Each structure stands twice: as structure tokens, then as C-alpha cells.
Structure 1
């Protein structure tokens, strides 16, 4: 709404308000005048009625006198010839009617209560005289002769009637005088009131008019300022619009209908390639530049905007000054005046040539593309579609360009419409596989993608849809999935079989190797030692074979995982050399280490797998070399940041291999030739495992060899350096390194008798005390009774396995059970045993068969970490009991026995209440034991019992809390027994 129209509305409102005020003022004056005139009319009418009443009263006096005279005439002239009866009756009737009229007017006129009361009293008296006068007159008229007594009575009544009638007449005359006074005062009041009302109304109208004039003057001034500001702003907008059209290169054409003036913006001249003086800025000029084929489109668009008043946008080609045609987008609209007539024609022209050419090229590309592609505008109308799209959706017989996708496919679901809306807002949606139900009910699997295409960087012009029939791929994938599931089931069966066989073989093998180790430590005879060494070699060979088979199974199942940690590579290489010395001596082989001085010692990697690789390669080199040399070499190649690339090689002077023999040397169960196995032994697994491990480390095993000249196996590997001081943990623990004096006590959970014997030997050898539990349940019960530094837990045991036992131990709320180290003893080297043991809360694991040094290293690592704290066995318990006994030892012993018995019964009844879920029994035993708890100041135990009771009906499910109460009550029992009853 503009300023003029706003102020026109304000003026109209003020004028309407003044008219309403004038009408109200005139209405008030007229109302006051009518009210006062009505009051005056009432008084005048009352005065007229009073005059009539006074006349009636005067006539009554005359009538009363006539009646008296007539009666006396009759009395004095009995022979009077007049009709006495008729005369008297006629006068009496007139007299009675006048009396009734006079009395009725009395009740009608008087509003003043006092006046009315006085008149009522006079009329009451008059009624007596009236009745006597009329009755006496009638008696005289009807009797003959007339008695003197009636004549005298008639005169008496008349003498009474006339004074009363005079008083009534006087009262009405006085009332008439008052009414006349009221008329005079009312007339004066009417005149004054009308004059004052007219004056007040005139003043009110004048004040309101002056205020409206003042307000309108202020508004006019504000209007002037607003108009000036608006003109300034409109000019600024016009300047900005001109600047904007120049900046964004939008050509503007406008034509005023009133004067026919036309104008082109500077940008329009530039867009067409002309200067201002080179072309006339008219619509006819522009129309002449439009491509002839596009002229009808432009005219139709113009007519549409003129008729509807809505803007219309079209794309047309216009001829440049150069003679070439350019694609432009023209948007036209009309501006109308208040009466609805067109006042201005305007159009904006934008250069879209590059985009249009690209769009046409894209359209041509889409139409000829060998894939199912369709291009749509923002209204989801087809711009282009490939031939394959048309064929695949069986719409060859339809003209789809320009038509809505939803008209072509009315069955399009709401979910697809949502996808289209998202993509028109800039999203990209795709599916690798999506089911699509065809009209015949068959399911077709489609791979599709919907993405927006852009007019410019930020403006979406529409969407592109790509589809591909992947039904066959889907069917193949389902077949592959089924095959995979079958393979996985077979792999799981294989894994389970290998895990079982691993446990079944490694458990007795642990006993064989362990007993061999023990016998070798007991100084056997020379011939026995030779046999034991053979037994040891056989056991280790069998273990190596099992480990190789399991490693291959892990690799094939993808379950071999590298464990990166800091390690000392220099020490590792030298340790391998030391471990192979005896085998090398057997073949008269010298083993040497060539470690580059520029190569750091400490790296981060999987030292176990690096050891396995080097041990395999060095062992093979020794095996195939007689009376020669084997060199383990590590040379630095390059360094970057904290990473060092090195070449590790194992060179021997052995039998060597031809190029033919080298083929397939790194495959499983493969050796150079058939006779190799018979002469040198082995399974041909080591090099295959080595290759696979190095591939996991990002390296590759390589070979250089010639028959009779030896072989060099080498690989390049990059490892991260570390400055961490790496402790050499691979030291053998000798008899001199025992644990005597450290007070270490172990719990060994092992069901295999042979392994129990081996464990006893190994532990006694280093003076470590221990207890044996045959299953997990026994181990759990043993932990309730004694304190241990470490638990060695076998995993597969009867009654309760090691996993379940560990979960049960860790489930206790006591800190001791949470922290005591539990090390798994396992013969299962195939499964992900490390993750499984750690998942249930175990601290570490030791794989069977193990060497004594491995066991001692575990003990040294974890012993002494925790000690069981007895929280309820108060050190002053003994003194409290002796204090009660006051030196009476017999009392002390009897009281202690009773106390022990009470706590034993408490524990027993507590178990019973839990088993039977008997809350009443719990309250009973809690009450019975409370006095002893208070006596011994066992606040912790008492608070735990109260806490258990607070759980009410669900107390039996608080297993951890119950275990704490039982432990603490048991500790009290042991304390009393140990400190008093055993004195």
C-alpha cells in the first residue's frame, strides 16, 4: 500500500468520525428537548385535568344546593305540581355521577402521598354527607307528606357537604397553582437545557475538528517526509536495479502504454552486440532479430502474459550484430493500474547460449547412449531419453519429450516421488540393487542413480536418471552367497575339527615334552640322555608339524592376525642363531650374523612372526648345507621419517637349486624334488607359511640359487623405529633363578593327570607352592578359602570349563577376585584364543606344550600383584571376646564355640533362604545374628545384611551381595577359630 492511499484512508476515517460525532451531538440535543417537552406536556395536561376537576367540584356545590332547594320546596309546598320523584332522581343521578368522577380524579392525579392522604380524608367525610344528602332527598321525593325531620336532615347534610366541598375545591386550586409553577419552571429548564446542549455539542465538535485538523496536518507533514524518503529509496532501487542488470548481464526492455515510450537497458545492447546509436530500442526491432521459427513462441508468450497478468518465460534465438544466432531466455510480464488496465510492459533477457548448447549436446548424447538414461526438467517432464530407456520400458509407441514422467508411468510410487523431490533439491540417490515388480508380477532387479543437473553453479535445472538391469547379477550373487555359506560351514567344520585335534594332540604332547624336559634336568645317564634327546627332538618335530598345519589353516581362514609391539630385532636375530647352534653342529655348519651398524635395534612389529620367518629360513639353510656356512644378514636400504627399510637375507653354501627346481618352491607341501623329503625330511610347509606371513607384512620372499653353489633367500621389509628400551624376555630360567623367599602360591586348574605331574615338577623345581584343582568349580571354591598370587586355568575341563570359571570369579564384587591374574593354559592354537580369553577377563595365556622358561616368565611377570584382604576379621576380635570373659577361659572357649556355631547356622540358613526365596527366614536370621555383629562391631557385615533386606522380594537375585556376606561371615568364623579356639 503506498503513502497516498494510506493517507486517503486516514482522511476518510477522520471525516466519517466527524460525521458520527455531529450526528451523536444533534441526537443528544434532540433527545434532551424531547424529554423536557414530554415532561412539560404532562404538566400542562395535568393542569387541564385539574381545571376540569375544579369545574366538577363547583357544579357539585350547585347540585347539592339544587337538591336541597327542591327538597325544601317539596316540603313547604306539598301540593306542588312538579314530578317530585323524577326531579329528585334526575338531580341525584347527576350528583352521584359527578361525585364518582370527582373521587376518581382524586386517585388519578395525585402523586404526592401527603396530598393524597389529605384529600382521601376529605373525601371520606364528604362521602357521609353525600350519601345522607342523596338518600334524604330520595326519601322526600318518595314520601307524602314530607316529614319535617327529613327536611331538617336535608339542610343539615347540605350544611356539612358544602364546607367539605369548598375544602376539596381549594385543595385542587392549590394543586393547580403548583402545576402552573412547574410548567413555568419546566419551560425555563427546557430553554436552558437546549441552549446548553447545543453549546456543548458545538464546542465538542469544534475541539474534535481542530484536533483532527492538527493530526492531519502532522500526518501531511509526515507524508511529505515519507514521500521524499520513498522517492529517494525508489531512486536508489532504480540505480541498484540498473547496476544489477549491468552486473548480471540481464537485458531489460520496457514500454509505457500511456505514452508509448520504450527503453532498453545497456546490458541488452551489449547482449545483442550493438551500441546505443546503432539500433532503435523498440519491440519491433527486437522481434525482427528473433529467429523466424521462434517468433510464434514469443508472440504466444506475450499474449499469455497480457491476458493472464502472469509472467511467462521462453527460450528463443536472437540474431547478433555478427549475424550469428544466440540462445536467450526471455521473461515477460505486465504491470496494471488500479482500474486493471495495463500501464507497463516489461521483459528481461538473459544469455543462456552456452548452457543451451551444452544441454542440447547432453540431450544428443543421452539419446544415443547405449545405457538407460533419461533427462527431466524441474517439472519432471522429459527433455531427452536414450533409445535403450525407451526400449527397456517398452514406450516406443509414445511421444514422451515434453510429457510428465508421472503421466507416462502413473504407477510411480510415493517413495520414488520423494526421491525425485530430494534430487531436485540437490541430493544424489542411488542403489546398487533395488527390486522392481513388473506388470506381469515378475521381479526385476535394477541398479539406478538419480542426480540433479545444474543450469549454473547453484541452480538445479532438473534431474538425470540412470538405470541398469542387474537381475542376472543378482541371481549370480545369490548363488555365490549360497556357495559362500556352504564354504563357511565347511570352513567352520574344518576349524572345529582342527581345534579339537589340536587340543587332543597337543595335550598329551605337552606331557611328553614336559616329562622329557624334567628327565633331562635330573642328570640322566649318557645313554638315557641320548634317548631323551631323541624323544625331545621327535616331540618338537611333531609340535612344529602341528603348528605349521594350524598356521596354514589360520592363513586360509583369514584368521592369522599380526600383533604389533616393540621388539629388539638385533637381539632376535642373535637369539635365532643361538637356538640353531646345536642343529648346525650336527651338519658341521657355521652360523654367522651380519647386522648393519647403521641399522637401529628397536622396531615395532610382530616379533613372533618375524622369528617364525627367520627360524624357517635359517633352519632350512642349515638342513640343506653340510660342512659349510649359513649367514643371517640385515642391511639398511633407506630411511624416511621414523621408518626404516631393510633387506633381510639368509645365505647358505648348501646344495642349491636349479631354475626348474625353484618353480613352486613357495607352494604348500612343495619341495625341490621327490628325493628331498626322503633324504632331508620335512613337509614343505615352512616356505609356504613364510611367503604368506611376509605378504601380510607387505613384503615378498625372493630366491637366488644355483645347483651346488648354495642359495640366498631374502626379503625387503619396512618397519617403524622406536626408542623404547625393549626388555629381552626370551631368557631361559635356570635352576639358579628360582623364586625361593618370594612366598608365591599358585592355583593350577588342570584335569589331565600327566599335565598335573609336569606342572608339579616345574613348580617344585623353582620352589613355588601350589594347589591343584581338577575343574573350574573346584578352582572357584579354592579361591573362596585361600589366597593365591596367580591362577593357571586350563580351558577345557569337565564339570566347569575355564571360561565359565573365569566369568564366575570376575563376577564377584570383591576387589581381590577382580584383580587376581588368571592365565589360560590352552592346547587350542587354531581358534582366536587370545580374543576369547581376554573377552572373559583372563590376564594372559600360555600355549601347550610350553617350555619351563615360558612358565617361569609368566610367574615372574604376574606373581605378587594382589593380596586378598580380610575386611571383616577385625584384629581386635580376640581382645573383645577375652574382655567379655574377664579371665574366665572356660567362658571364652564356650562363647567362641557358640559364636562360631551361630555364624555357621547363619550362613547355612542364608543359603536356604536364597534357595527357597524365603524373605521371612532372611529377616529372622538377620535379627538373630545382629546382636553378635553389634558386639563384635562388624559394621560392614551388618550393613551388607541390611542392604540385602532392602531388596525385599528380589533379594535372592543379588548373588554378588550374598557372596560378600558369606565371605565376610566365613572370615569371622576363621578368625575366631584361628585366634581363640586354636590357642
Structure 2
């Protein structure tokens, strides 16, 4: 069957003429041309084919659009087969020419299908049915068959919200006689996605001007719309910020002279804040220069802005404007070539507040400095007479005294020590308030420090009827680098408080490793007591200065409430914290963590010297039993603990029956039911064999039980809380039958110096202090020459030779620092070096450093105790001997 063709259609000449005038973009024009050429070529081809095959006569005029917008009229006159042969030659030539042209047009159609533009041809009928659509309609999810079969119309793919607008616009444009128009609207893909499209439409009309259809191309502009929307939102945000920002903003055009140096700045844009901060209206400055708007402007900041305009390096300045009488904070930068932007804020109030704060700070610092000077002066004045009180009391206690006299003087010494502790607390707190407390750094042994600190409180705890124990974890690094004295100060404060607020029971001090990270170790300490406890609502306030848990505590127990505040600050400075766990009436447990640095390569090897020994520990305190058992087990011993004599006897008998008798008995002298001496007698009848040793532990001050120990064959008598090194060495001596450790001597006897008698020079202006120091030194067997000023000391050294000089720092005529400087300067020419030890009651920060700087060899703070003075003289002389 022969295919029926519709009547030929006139060429859309009007559309071509419009396209020839130019479109928005070259690609749209190119695609439109290609589409029209393809459509009309197909019509030409079909008409030629019909004329040739039917040998009929027809006359048609066609319009052929070209890429350059040219119009080519091809008039085909056909009157019979002879006229065709006459015009074109043989029929085969016509077919060949048409086939060649058709190939070109098919290639052009392929280009259209590969382009992003979709070509459409639709009728102005119900639903807008589609006559033709390019294959690239698939980018919307549809196929050409969906439209050509009538399943989908052009109107159906337009978004429902846009259908009415699009229809009205097409009708309006068509009524106006337009041949071409464009629109933007949304379409719905086959998968129900919504896309934005740009549509260019040409109206197809007949010879009478009636509309017979529409031709168009569609471009997906969804991404462009998104970018457009993002840009619009960004612009809205910018303008919102620009108009609402509190800082003033100015954009200038930079005007340069012939040497490319900025000569002026022309206002291009300002924000509302500019008007508010300067009082200048926008309309009065836009397109005008700074010199026109502000002729008396301070050009110091203009110079800065000029540098920014030239170099492009942003600048930030604070400037006082004489014109506006305000301080401004100005940031200038170059947003582009020939542009300068300025962002500025009014900081007048801030500057005034800063000035007031600076003045207040200076006043506070001056007040603090005055307070520090006052405290230093008062400390010096208090320590000077205290040196006489403590020194004389210490000397008298070493003489023959009655029981009452010794008791009275003991109370004097205790009161003096309490006053000295209070004075030190006040000075420390003053340093904390002034921010002048500093940490030192030295290498120390943690176990020795903790055990020595606890041991200081042993007698005081025993006199209060308390058990005092110390436990140090085996995994803790023992050799550390840090401020050992500040660590000791915190422990002293906490242990002292625990003894003060505990009437019965025990106090246990523990030290362990919280964590170790890199080169730092976090050490966890605790001091647990069975005292009065603290209510939960006071757990924080007790760390405030001058605060105790209860006002009645101050009246009953004394104290200022500074110890915990100072300890909390020290732990904070050491990178840690201090807190408490407590219930009222149930005791307290104070914890603190500090950071220390373990010393590499200094860790001692864990000793197993007690390996093979079986030890029975007998103590009525479970804490003491556990601590001693852990210590001995960690050193290799097989350890069993008992808390009463009956249990100890049963355990001992069981081990003897099993053929594993104990080698060592470690017995507390004070036990329930019976004392430790009776228990030792029952466990060890007769003299000790070399394989068996008995060690007695006691908290008593005096060695009144020495005779009883010898009677029972107990030659090893240790003071509680026993130090770990001392305990281990004593056990080793005991099992080797080296019974060299006897009862602890009375602590009231003065230590003796282990050096020869010396000839000493004392420079001290206070008569009482002179007698105190002379008494201490003569007690040690030395001779002392006294001078009352630094000048006299210098002159005396010119006359005679001395082994060592004790030099007071503050003296009339010439102080100790000046005298030492003169002595050291003279030694540069004469040679030699006489040791000089400073004696000072001053606690001004940096005093020790000044002593070292002027050439002093040692330092003893007043009030000086005999043991401290002896130790410092020995240390200085040993160092001098080694030089």
C-alpha cells in the first residue's frame, strides 16, 4: 500500500527571518537551524518521491534555512516527466542528488540528538499532542514513542503548578503575532523528578496567518537554576549581613597618581552601621573622596590604608579619631585591584574600660606589693625573736631537767612550731594570691620522701592513740623529677589535719600510679582517717581560704583553714587536683593527683632478697598487716598475717606441723589480749636459732622495753611506721644473726657533728640570736668569734683565719650581701675561698637566688634548728673539701 502524505506546508519564513536576526546564544541558533533544515528536507524528500513515482504535475515553493541565516528559495516546476528530464537529466541523477542531501540531513539529525537540546513539534490541540520529538528526550526518562503514540502529550510533562502560566503566555504571545518567544518553567520526568527547562518556541502559521503548530527546543537548566538560587541566597545573606552588622563597612575605589601611589579613596559603598558610627549619611559620601567628605581626617591611618592598597597585605590598627572623638578598631584589606575595604568598630567604651582596668590592676599590684613587703617585714620581725625562743628551748631541752620542766618546755616548743607553721601558711597564701608561688625541679626518691614525711608524725599519732601506716604501690616510679618540697608540704598538711581531727582509729597514707603517658606519670596519693568526717555540703567549701567544716572546729581544734586552700593550689600548679570523700561521723579520705616526670634509667631493680623466707606478721590493725604483707611479698618472702595473738599462735602451730616453720616473726608490741612481748615469748621459747628471728614493732618514743627485749632474745626493735628499706635490711641482718639494730634511742638527744672542731666567724647583730647560735655551735665543740655587722666581718677576716662564716643578711652599717661581695672580690686577687652560710629571717621571693648570686655557699632560714644548722655546715664543708 502506498503511504499517504499530508498536503505540503509552506515554509516558516517568518521564523527564519527572526532567527537570522540573531538569538541569545550561538548554540540555540545552531540547533534551531538544524531542526528546521531537517524538518523541511524531509518534506522535500517525500514530495519529490511522490511526484516522481506518480508522474504527476505539481508546483511547490520551499524555504531552505541555512546555518548563516540565508534564505534559499527552491522552486521546483514539474510538468510531466519530460520537463524533469530536461531540467535535471535522467531520473537517476535526481535520486542520487536527493540521497546525498538526505545523508547530510540525517547526519545533522544525529548531531541534534546528541546535543543537550530537545527538539519538539506539537499541535495547538487538546493536550498539545506531539508530532515530532528528538531522540534525546530520553534525558527526561521518556522515549520518542511515548509521545508519537499519543500516550504522553506535551502538556502532560509540564509541572501542574506551571501549566496555567505557560498556557497563558503562549496564548498571549500568539495573539500578539509573535513568531518566536522563550519561557522558563518546570517539567516532570517519567520518574516524577522535577526539572527546570528553558524553552525556545517558534509559531508555525499557514499562508493565512493561522497557527498550525509550534516548534521548539528545550534545554535542561536545573543546575543553572540551583546555582542561581544559591547565588541569590548568598546575595541575600550578604546584604542581610551587610545591613545588620554592627561593624561599619566601607568599600573604596582607590585613586592613584602618575607614580601609581594612592592619592585618595572614593566611597563606593557603605553600610548602615557606617552612618551610625560616624554620623555621616550614605548619600553624602557615595562617589565622593575622603578628602572631600572628611577634610580634616587624620592621615596616619590613611597611610596604613595606602600600604594595604599597594601591597595587598591586610592591616589591623586601633585609632583615635579627633574628628569623631572616638576610638576605632580598623581592619583594612584589598578585595580586588584598585579597591580597598575597611571594617571598623567603635571601641571607645572598651578602651575606657581597659584603661580603668589597667589602672585598677596597677593599683592592686601596688597594694599587693605593699602587702608582700609588709608580710616580709613582719615575718622577719617575728622570726627574729622566734629564733631565740626555739633555739634557746632546744638548747635547754638538751640539759638535765625535771619531768615537769621538760613537759613545760615541750609545750613551748610545740607552740613555737605551731606559730611558725601559721606564719609559713600566711606567707604561702600571700604568694598564691599574688601569683608568685613557683615550683622548683629536683630529682628525688618518692618512697623515701613519703616514708620520711609519715615518720615525722609517728610520735604525734602514737600520743593520740592512733595507728599510722603508709603504703606505696610497687608499680609506682620511685625516682622522679619535680618539686619534692611542695609535694611534702601537701602531705604534711593532709596528715596533720587527719591526726588533728581523728580521736581514735587509724590513718593510712597511700601512694600509687594513676596513669603514665609518655614522659609524664600521674601519681595518686590519699590520706584516709577514721575521724569526725565532713558533711557533703562542705566538700567544696573546705578548700576555700579561712574556711573549716564547722566554726566549732576552729574553736575546738584550732587552725586558720589555710592548709587545704594552699594544698589545693599547689596540686593545681603541679598539674593535678585535690578532692575529698567523706561522710560526717565516718571519717574522711583526701585524694590528690600530681604530675611528675620519671627519671629514665633510674628505676631500681625489684629486690628479691627475701626469697625463701617465711614471715609471720602480727598486728591488730588490718591496714598495717596488709601493707607489711604486700611489702614483704613483693620482695620475695612468703608472708602470712594475723591480727591477734590467738590467731598468730594457731597459724604458727599449723606451719610447724606442716614442716614449714616461720623464719621471721614481725610482731607489734601493743596487741589485744596480751602484749607483743608475751606473744614473742610463747612463739620463741629460749634463745633464737640462726634460722629464726623476731622483730618487735613499737610506736613508743623511749626505749624503756630494751631490757625486756634482751631477756626474750629480741634484739631488733623498730619504730612504727617502719620504713621499707630499714625493714628489709633489718630482716636480712636478723636472719644472718647480725644483731646490730637495738632499741631506738630517745629523740631528745642532739645529733653530733661528724666533723672536726672548727673555728667559726658569726656575723649577727641581734644579741639573743648571737647567744642561740653560739650555744649550738659550742655544744658541738666549736669556737666562735662574733661580729655585729658585715663591715666588722670583712675586717675580722683580714686579721684572722676561719674555717667558715655564718653571715646574717640584714645588719646595720653593712649587710651580709654586700659583705660577701667584698670578700669574694678580694679572693679574686688573694686566692682561696672561705665558705659562707647565710642566716636570714627574710622570706622575700628570690632571696635564696640572691644569696647564691653574691657568692654564698649555703642558706639557713631563721628560726634555725640545731639539726638543720649542723646539716648545712656539714654539707657546705664537704662541698668545699671536694673542690
Question: TM-score normalized by structure 1?
Answer: 0.49
Q: What's the CA shift for 1:807? A: 3.5
- Aligned counterpart, 2:823: 809
Trace 1:488-507 onto structure 2 (pairs within 5 A): 488-507=365-384
Query: C-alpha distance in 1, partners of 2:578/2:814?
Result: 46
Aligned-pair distance for 1:417? 2.8
Cα deviation, 1:925-952, whole Å, max 9, x if unaligned, reads: xxxxxxxxxxxxxxxxxxxxxxxxxxxx
Match of 1:445 among 327, 351, 370: 327
Equivalent-residue separation in structure 1 for 2:376 and 2:419 (angstroms): 16
Match of 2:270 among 379, 385, 389: 385
Inter-CA distance 787–361: structure 2 relative to 1 (3 Å threshold): farther
CA displacement 1:379-431 (0-9 Å, x = unmatched): 44334322111232222163534443344333344422321132231323223
d(CA) in 2 for partners of 1:402, 1:724: 76
Distance (whole Å) between structure 1 residues aligned to residue 28 and residue 290 of structure 2? 37
Distance 1:392 1:658, change over 3 A: closer
1:307-351 CA-to-partner distances (Å, cap 9, x unmatched) read xxxxxxxxxxxxxxx989xxxxxxxxxxxxxxxxxxxxxxxxxxx
Give the match for residue 779 of structure 1.
793
Instruction: State TM-score, norm by structure 2.
Output: 0.54
Structure 2 residue 465 is the aligned partner of structure 1 residue 580: no
Q: Tell me, yes or no, if structure 1 residue 847 matches structure 2 residue 861.
A: yes
Q: Which protein has the bigger helix share?
A: 1
Whether the 8 Å CA contact 1:507–1:848 is kept in 2: the answer is yes
Q: Deviations over 1:140-163 (max 9, x none)?
A: xxxxxxxxxxxxxxxxxxxxxxxx
Change in Cα spacing, 1:358 to 1:734, as seen in structure 2 (3 Å) is farther
Query: Contact (CA 8 Å) 1:816, 1:868: kept in 2 or not?
Result: no
In the alignment, is the contact (CA less than 8 A) between 2:296 and 2:323 conserved in 1? no
Q: Secondary structure at the match of 2:372?
A: helix
Aligned equivalents of 1:382, 1:356: Cα separation in 2: 25
Hey, what's the Cα distance between the residues in 2 that align with 1:386 and 1:843? 71
Query: What's the offset of the Cα at 1:635?
Result: 1.9
Shift of 1:562: 1.4
Q: Is the 8 A contact 2:755 2:874 kept in 1?
A: no
Counterparts of 1:613-628 in structure 2 under 5 Å?
A: 613-628=490-505
Q: Which residue of structure 2 lines up, in the alignment, with residue 395 of structure 1?
A: 280
Q: SS at the partner of 2:332?
A: strand
Equivalent in the alignment of 1:834: 848
The one-character-per-residue Cα deviations of 1:157-180 (angstroms, maximum 9, x if unpaired) are xxxxxxxxxxxxxxxxxxxxxxxx
Whether contact under 8 Å (2:806, 2:838) holds in the other structure is: yes
Residue 316 (structure 2) aligns with: 430
Q: Residues 547 and 562 of structure 2 are in contact (CA less than 8 Å); yes or no, is this contact kept in structure 1?
A: yes
Residues 858 and 876 of structure 2 are in contact (CA less than 8 Å); yes or no, is this contact kept in structure 1? no
Alignment match, 2:71: none
Question: Which sections of structure 1, spanning at least 5 residues, go unmatched?
Answer: 1-268, 282-321, 325-352, 870-983
In structure 2, relative to structure 1, the CA distance for the partners of 1:840 and 1:367 (3 Å cut) is: farther
| Cα deviations by residue, 1:624-660 (Å, 9 ceiling, x for unpaired) | 1123100001122211112111221100011212224
Tell me, in whole angstroms, the C-alpha distance in 1 between the residues paired with 2:333 and 2:855: 51
Q: How far is the alpha carbon of 1:838 from its aligned partner? A: 4.0
Residue in 2 that maps onto 1:658: 535
Aligned-residue offset at 1:271: 13
Contact kept? 2:827, 2:833, Cα under 8 Å: no
After superposition, the C-alpha distances for 1:474-496 in whole angstroms (9 at most, x for unaligned) are 22233333333332332222222
CA distance in 1 between counterparts of 2:843 and 2:529 reads: 32
Aligned: 1:740 with 2:740:
no
What SS does the corresponding residue of 2:577 show, helix, strand or coil? coil
Q: Is the 8 A contact 1:789 1:864 kept in 2?
A: no
Q: 2 CA distance for matches of 1:280 and 1:644?
A: 84
Q: Which residue of 2 aligns with 1:860?
A: 874
Q: Could you report, residue by residue, the CA deviation over 1:249-271 in whole angstroms, capped at 9, with x for unpaired residues?
A: xxxxxxxxxxxxxxxxxxxx999
Query: Paired residue for 1:798?
Result: 812
Count of residue pairs the alignment pairs up: 526
CA gap of 1:478–1:722, structure 2 versus 1, over 3 A, is same
Question: Cα distance 1:798–1:387, how it changes in 2: closer, same or farther (>3 A)?
Answer: same
Q: Give the whole-Å Cα distance in 2 for the aligned partners of 1:744 and 1:692.
A: 44
- Give 1:812 deviation, angstroms: 4.0
Please give the secondary structure, in 2, of the residue aligned with 1:398. helix
Q: Secondary structure at the match of 2:367?
A: helix
What SS is found at the alignment partner of 1:665?
helix
Q: Distance in 1 between matches of 2:586 and 2:843?
A: 39
* Aligned-residue RMSD, C-alpha: 4.1
Aligned-partner SS, 2:545? coil
Q: Name 1:685's counterpart in structure 2.
A: 562
Q: Rate the CA distance shift 1:710–1:465 in 2: closer, same or farther, 3 A.
A: same
Q: Report if aligned partners of 1:733, 1:856 keep a CA contact under 8 Å in 2.
A: no
Q: Is this contact kept in 2: 1:551–1:830, CA < 8 A?
A: no
CA gap of 1:850–1:415, structure 2 versus 1, over 3 A, is same
8 Å contact from structure 1 (residues 550, 830) kept in 2: no
> In structure 2, how many angstroms separate the alpha carbons of the residues matched to 1:407 and 1:738?
91
Displacement of 1:589: 0.5
Q: CA deviation at 1:609?
A: 1.3
Change (3 A) 1:370 1:586: same
Q: Which has the higher strand share?
A: 2
Which has the larger Rg?
A: 1
Which of 709, 717, 722 does residue 586 from structure 2 map onto? 709
Q: Where do 5+ consecutive residues of structure 2 fail to align?
A: 1-24, 35-65, 69-196, 200-227, 256-264, 605-722, 727-746
Give 2:776's aligned residue: 762
